[in-house]
A = this chain, B = another copy of it.
Amino acid sequence: MIVKVGIFGATGYTGVELVKLLSRHRQARIVFAHSESHAGARLSDVLPCPYDIPLLSADDVPLQAADLIFSCLPHGPSAELCKRALDEGRRVIDLSADFRLRDATSYARWYGHSHPYPDLLKIAVYGLPEIHRSAIAHAQLVANPGCYPTSIILGLLPLLEAGALTDPVIIADSKSGVSGAGRKASLATHFVEVNESLSPYNIGRAHRHVPEIEQALGALWNGAPAAPLRVIFSPHLLPISRGILSTLYVRIKPVHEGWTELFHCRFASEPFVRVLPEGQIASIAHAAHTNYAVLSVHPVADMASYLQIISCLDNLVKGASGQAVQNMNIMFGLDETEGLR
């Protein structure tokens, strides 16, 4: 079986990474690649890559030729083209934030405009295979998770499912490479501004990934409803191209032991979550250029009610295009790891 796929927004960093992953995939074939600003050119002329693929404008893409559409566009424009593809009966994986929040009110507050297609929020499946694998398999529309949320949710999932947290406040100190900011010119991503520095930004619960994280983790929180789960999320811009590391701080029931073992058990059958043995510490190098989320779990000496988790991934792979391919594999009944090892 060959899945025929189309790509909206092929000239950004997630777009090119997706092309790269699909070009290695034995059961997928790219039937079109879209770029509005570079329509008429070929991908290999726009970026330093070997993919000699023609780029089409949105009006010219053969939607019907594709079984599946990936959208790598920014939020806003992405919703429009996803809608068009869905109307044509295509299945869609949207890598933007447009269909991640279930609540249209929350979307409006965080993204500054009301959601154009709130009905689609009801059918969209949040594409984190480690939680929603079976729903993904049958989804018409998959909302591919954000990069930071993937790292943070996977890093806390076993604890929340086990009811091990004693405090609804989670501290997530996250650090990301610059490709997470997208491929457009800005002073904030100028080499000299980023290099040899580290810059916190949107701290104090100001980042748009806060509601996405709280939506996913809040659904698993079994504490008092009067004290809902809250994440203090502090993103920092790292002077590297790709990779995310989240350092997570939680309060836990100190009676429990064997935290690493708990994580090992939870993820034993997950093909793309790697829990390091006790004594090893995850780093971005563990995950870069792979589809793995790599975790390590750390008790705090003399402070039995605290636990630290380090969660790493490549923001362009498990944090975006790799997870999208994983979702495609699930949606079309393929080996979940095809094209991703």
Residues of A bordering B, CB below 8 Å: 13, 23-24, 45, 48-50, 169, 171, 173, 175, 177-179, 183-187, 189-201, 203-206, 230, 232, 234, 236, 238-243, 245, 247, 249, 274, 277, 280-286, 288-290, 292, 298-303, 306, 308, 310, 341
Contact = CB atoms under 8 A, between A and B. Distances in A.
Most interface-central of A187, A236, A249, A310 (chain B CB within 10 A): A236
Given A185-B185, A238-B238, A283 B198 contact: yes
A197 B281 contact: no
A286 B23 CA distance: 16
Contacts of A310: 200, 203
A239 B240 contact: yes
A191 B281 contact: no
Nearest to A47: B285
A197 to B, nearest CB: 4
A285 B203 contact: no
A341 B49 CA distance: 12
A148 to B, nearest CB: 14
Nearest to A176: B198
Nearest to A292: B50
A298 B204 contact: yes
Contacts of A194: 191
A285 to B, nearest CB: 4
A240 to B, nearest CB: 5
A276 to B, nearest CB: 9
